Amino acid sequence: MSSTQSNSSANVTFVRPATFFISGFSNMPHVKYYYVFLSLVYVVTVLGNSFIMCIIYLARRLHTAKYIVVFHLALIDLCESSALIPNIIDIFLFDHHVVSYEGCLANMFFVYHFMNLHSLTLLVLAYDRLVAICFPLRYHAIITKTAMFLIIGIMWIFSVIYFSVYVGLVNRISFCGSNVVDSYFCDHGIIYRLACNDNSINILMLKLSFVLLICTPLILIIISYFCISTALLKIAHGAERIKAMKTCTSHLMLVAIGYIPIVSNNIAVLTTPMNPNTRLINNSLTQIVPPMLNPIIYALKTEEVMQSIKELYKRRKVNTTKRMKYSRRNSKQK
């Protein structure tokens, strides 16, 4: 511990470590194979999400309010993976286990911030499907580009403020014992346990975050799909009902991939004893796999995206053929 700050008003001495030691995967056998897997996941995540963003940008038919949110989800998935996976590889594969105090808090902020935005974006997509199926005649009046940009802006402001406070409260903790973080990143749930003073507010914030940022969006999504199911039952024609349901399948898959592992991990931690290495692998997979799968699901399961990909491919093929004919014509004239 290298630096000490006094709070004279409370007559309490706060000890700040200059660095944290991230120990996470250090004692795991054959862990280098897992780092290779993480590298492959990161490459697929970057390529997949970049591909989806390019398709939405290039295809005019996708310049709609809904696909503004899909573009935002791909961007957030890319940012979330970039905040986590390169850092894991740098720490454990290249033995840079020592992280500065400020760098640790910054890493904590960005990982949680982008995870939260991912969760909220899934909620916005559920809202889009709710309006589309329950209020089809008012859909284009309610779900506008302006409304979606406003919602995304509010999400960012809320998340930045919330996690600035969340991470800032770590500064209330005095680290007069160990500075070893038994995780693969600067995990708030591990760091607050290193405190040798009162950490009750950090525990409260952790519980509040789980309820507010994970359980609440999931409950709202479940309620929205209950309303959607009720509306679908009122549709007389089976073909129309199936068509409406198909517009929800890709989003439902994203919700399942995004929430089921997180909820399952939290239940498992509370109910059954778990090997520390198993816990780390489960938690890391929960964070890195959904951003990789999301663009694949949207590309393969969404008809509008597939149609746009085909149109862009045909357009590129036609343009290539025209350029080849033009170059041949010029070569003959010469």
Q: Give the residue, 82 or 4, on which the prediction is more confident.
A: 82
Mean pLDDT of 98-102: 95
Closest by CA position to 113, among listed 155, 150, 170: 155
Query: 6 has which bridge partners?
Result: 13
Least confident of 21-30, 50-59, 67-76, 141-150: 21-30
Mean pLDDT of 162-171: 95
Would strands 3-7 and 12-16 be described as parallel, antiparallel, or unpaired?
antiparallel
SS3 144: coil
Confidence of residue 85 (pLDDT cuts 50, 70, 90): very high
Map out the domains of the chain as residue ranges: 18-320
Mean pLDDT of 225-250: 82
Query: 180 has which bridge partners?
Result: 21
Tell me the pLDDT tens digit for each residue of 187-224. Answer: 998 999 999 888 999 999 999 998 999 999 999 999 99
Confidence of residue 3 (pLDDT cuts 50, 70, 90): very low
Q: Give the residue, 9 or 104, on which the prediction is more confident.
A: 104
CATH number (1.20.1070.10, 1.10.167.10, 3.20.20.70, 2.120.10.30) of 18-320 reads: 1.20.1070.10
Statement: residue 7 has pLDDT above 60: no
Give yes or no for a contact between 160 and 81, defined as CB atoms under 8 angstroms apart: no
C-alpha 165/C-alpha 176 separation (Å) is 23
Residues in contact with 33: Cβ distance below 8 Å, sequence separation at least 6, in sequence order: none
DSSP 217-277: HHHHHHHHHHHHHHHHHT-S-HHHHHHHHHHHHHHHHHHHHHHHHHHHHHHHHHHS---HH
